[in-house]
Amino acid sequence: MKRLSPNKRTLGYYGIIAASLAVAIVAGWTALASQINDYAYDWMFRLFPPAATKPHSIILAIDDATFSAMGGVREYRRMLAKALELLAPAHPKVVGIDVVLADKEDAVEDDRLERAMQGTKNLVLVAHLKQADRRWEDPLDRFARWAAGIGHDAADENSHDGVTRQIPLEKRIGKTRHWALALEAFRLARGVTILESEDDLQLGNESIPAARTAEGNRTLRVLFRQQPIPQVSLKELSEKPELADRFTGQVAFVGVTSFSASPDRVKTPYGLMMPGVETHAQLLETLEGAKFLKSTGNLTELAFCLLTGVLAALIFGLLSGWPAYLSALFLLIGATTGPFVLFRMGFVFPYFSTLASAWLTVAAAASYQHFVVRRALRNSETERKRYQQAIHFVTHEMRTPLTAIQGSSEMMGRYNLSEEKRKQMSEMINQESKRLARMIQTFLDVERLSDGQMELKREQFTVREVVEACLARVRPIGDRKSIRIRAEAIEGGLAGDRELLEYAVYNLLTNAVKYSGPETEITVVCIPQGDRLRLSVQDQGVGMDAKELRQIFQKFYRTKRAEASGEAGTGIGLSIVEEIVQHHGGRMEVTSEPGKGSCFTMVLPAVLRASRPPTVSV
């Protein structure tokens, strides 16, 4: 029976867990994983939306009503000029215009707009990144000169599903870099400068954790508020100029909110569409809120996955049964809810790799232990059976010598025997008890051998010595059935455990005698063939058919013919013979025909070139 050694089992166990951990980590890099991470993020976002705070920004919206009242998209410049004129008396902290002003248009309107800009404090304009030809669409110089800052209007272009979760605070094309429109507005509102390091941006006493990425961006997750940013329509403001009060001390963003007029809109984690200008305002609120969602780094992610794997391995390595399953359940609950807890604490943790590493390693550890434990149970059951049958075998085999010893000793004690008879009997007692001792030794040796506990002895001897010793013991049994036992050419030498090999040969011989009729012949022959020796025992007995032949080396198997022969047997002898032969690097070969006889051959590695002995004939 093949059994995994404890070391191999442990190695297999940890190997399987390591492999499933590796699969989870590698799968965490796939596009599918990042999509799942994003979905989980949106879900958490909806579950724990940012707390409501007093807004710092307000939108002056060029909405559908404004368009119908003040003209179509060709009237932007006029609308913007009007907007700035209306805002001027309210003194907003900053005015950000989310309309690209890169082209020259109607000179009169441009003059008016420029004049309005001139009168606007802390004006921020946008530069638009033309992705196709990788250049900035900057505002015309005449406008730019009145701007206190120029920011970009890019959204989340890395998003796979069109949802804007983060915005690059910094954008570079060649040598020109622009901060985000909202960041410029925030800087001016605070009246500070931006100090940058690799890991963050410092604005006054506020530090923004936006590390520079490989692409030269610094992305920041936008904490979209559930409450909309306050809005005033330009049409409304022009009709009621007193509404301008609402802009006082606030950061005003002027932009198009009409979805029919402008494609500038983004999708938020809430699943809503939001005009671009409102997204800038949302980013400004995020900056004002000074509470940021930080992404945990790759190393933390890896460490967490490893920790999950180690915990799963320990749980199923050290515990078993329900304590193991219960602890695994806690681990899974921890891994499933962990990212939510971290999210509440302001950390965004990739959901997929956390879940995948926990579930995969737990599943691997649990199923490995389940199957190994099941196999161990099966093994111990077979082991128990084997043990029982072994006891049966021992008691059966020992009965003969014990009966002889018992009978002789009784006779010696009870009768007055002649000195010669006494000597004969004590000689027999001595021999039978030696045989008993040898049998016990052989049995124990074979048990230890098949358990892998015993090293084979490596002595050298000739096959002849072994065969002759066996013949001497078998002949008296053969004589009882008038079976002639002939030893033909017995050649060659062997290396190994002489006792065990003798046991094997003896077993083949006694089987041959047991399963042969009277007046038949048994032939023993040993001839070298290449580097092997073929030691055969041929009989003219009951034989076996092909189906029976396939099973005779199984422990406790006996053919019907053997049962019918009335010969005692346990069906264990041949399995021991095969075990012994295999431990000596050899194999068994059997040919047989029902009613005609069988030939059992031990094919063993030859070692000694023994001189050719004379044929022994009996």
**Which stretches of the chain bind ligand ADP, using CB under 6 A?**
507, 511-512, 515, 539, 541-544, 552, 557-559, 562, 569-575, 598
Q: C-alpha angle 265/270/276, rounded to 5°?
A: 15
Nearer to ligand ADP, 217 or 536 (CB): 536
How do 597-605 and 532-538 pair as beta strands? antiparallel
Residue with Cβ nearer ligand ADP (498 or 558): 558
Show the tokens assigned to 128: 């638009």
Least distance to ligand ADP, CB of residue 526, Å: 17
**Axis-axis angle for helices 322-344, 31-47 (nearest 10):** 70
| Percent helix, percent strand, percent coil in the chain, to nearest 5 | 50, 20, 30
Minimum separation from the CB atom of position 518 to ligand ADP (A): 15
Eight-class DSSP state of 158? T
Q: In whole angstroms, how close is the CB of 11 to ligand ADP at the nearest point?
A: 36
Find the shortest distance in angstroms from Cβ 574 to ligand ADP. 3
Q: How far apart are CA 402 and CA 436, in angstroms?
A: 8
CA–CA dist 310, 270 (Å, integer): 36
Residue 87's contacts (CB-CB under 8 Å, 6 or more residues apart) are 60, 95, 120, 244, 247, 252, 254
Least distance in angstroms from the C-beta of 577 to ligand ADP? 7
Q: How far is the CB of 557 from ligand ADP (least distance, A)?
A: 6
| Nearer to ligand ADP (CB atom), residue 151 or residue 571 | 571
* Alpha helix stretches (DSSP H) within 119-206: 141-144, 181-190
For the packed helices 298-318 and 6-27, what is the interaxial angle rounded to 10 degrees? Answer: 150
CA distance 536 to 597: 13
User: Which residue's structure tokens are 């979209």?
Assistant: 224
Shorter beta-carbon distance to ligand ADP: residue 292 or 557: 557
Amino acid at site 81: A
Whole-angstrom Cα distance, residue 81 to residue 26? Answer: 55
Nearer to ligand ADP, 168 or 597 (CB): 597
Alpha-carbon distance values, 394 to 450, 565, 578 (Å): 16, 22, 18
CB 554, min distance to ligand ADP, A: 9
Q: How far is CA 30 from CA 24, 34, 60, 107, 371, in A?
A: 10, 7, 42, 53, 31
Which residue, 512 or 533, has its beta carbon nearer to ligand ADP?
A: 512
CB 361, min distance to ligand ADP, A: 47
CA dihedral 187, 191, 196, 201 (to 10 degrees): -60
- Residue 385: CB minimum distance to ligand ADP, A: 16
Q: Which is nearer to ligand ADP, 138 or 579 (CB)?
A: 579
Residue 285 or 502: which CB sits closer to ligand ADP?
502
Q: Which is nearer to ligand ADP, 139 or 541 (CB)?
A: 541
Minimum distance from residue 583 beta carbon to ligand ADP (Å):
17
How many residues comprise the chain? Answer: 618
What is the DSSP code (8-state) at residue 89? Answer: G
Give the residue with the Cβ less far from ligand ADP, 124 or 542. 542
- Output the residue with the shortest Cβ distance to ligand ADP: 569
Least distance CB 407 / ligand ADP (angstroms) = 23
Antiparallel, parallel or unpaired: β 597-605 and 587-593: antiparallel
Phi and psi at residue 314, to the nearest 5°: -65, -40
Q: For strands 294-295 and 347-348, give the pairing.
A: parallel
Is the distance from CB of 138 to CB of 127 less than 8 angstroms?
yes
**Nearest residue (CB) to ligand ADP, 9 versus 484:** 484
